[in-house]
């Protein structure tokens, strides 16, 4: 049986700063024990927290690149809370939205909007 679909355009919208993780991240950031654990065991925690696996021969290349991209040489902590929020938002929202848009674009026009203005009101 062949599936029929309408060739309708799709609109994908996402924003720079996603507030859905803020409360969870504040629990981590307000605990010296948890931030110390995050910093000391980055190579174990990051792949688990971000939902990926390093290849056996990779030397943790992706994990090192992620750390460098989001934090540079700074530790995970209150001073880098926006970096941590962006890291989780990018992985859990931006990447998934991009993948869905690319898949949909094989069949219909796609319009993606990326909002960078931070709202003063969260819903």
- Taking the whole predicted model, whether its pTM rises above 0.75 is answered as no
pLDDT values of the chain reduced to their tens digit, one per residue, 123 residues? 566 767 788 888 777 665 556 667 777 788 889 899 989 999 998 998 888 887 776 778 889 999 999 999 999 988 898 888 888 888 877 888 888 889 989 888 998 887 776 666 554
Distance (Å) of CA 53 to CA 7, 13, 45, 61, 102: 36, 28, 11, 11, 23
Reduced to 3 states, what is the DSSP secondary structure of residue 92? Answer: helix
Q: Domain ranges in the chain?
A: 10-115
C-alpha 87/C-alpha 63 separation (Å) is 12
The two tokens of residue 48 are 């688990």
């Amino acid at each position: 049986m062949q599936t029929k679909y309408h060739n309708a355009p799709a609109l994908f919208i996402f924003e720079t700063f996603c507030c859905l993780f803020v409360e969870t991240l504040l629990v981590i950031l307000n605990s010296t024990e948890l931030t110390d654990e995050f910093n000391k065991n980055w190579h174990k925690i990051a792949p688990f927290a971000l939902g990926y696996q390093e290849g056996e021969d990779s030397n943790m290349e992706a994990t090192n690149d992620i750390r460098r991209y989001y934090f540079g040489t700074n530790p995970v902590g209150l001073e880098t809370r926006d970096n941590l929020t962006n890291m989780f938002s990018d992985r859990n929202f931006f990447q998934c939205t991009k993948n869905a848009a690319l898949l949909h674009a094989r069949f219909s026009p796609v319009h993606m909007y990326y909002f960078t203005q931070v709202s003063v009101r969260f819903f």
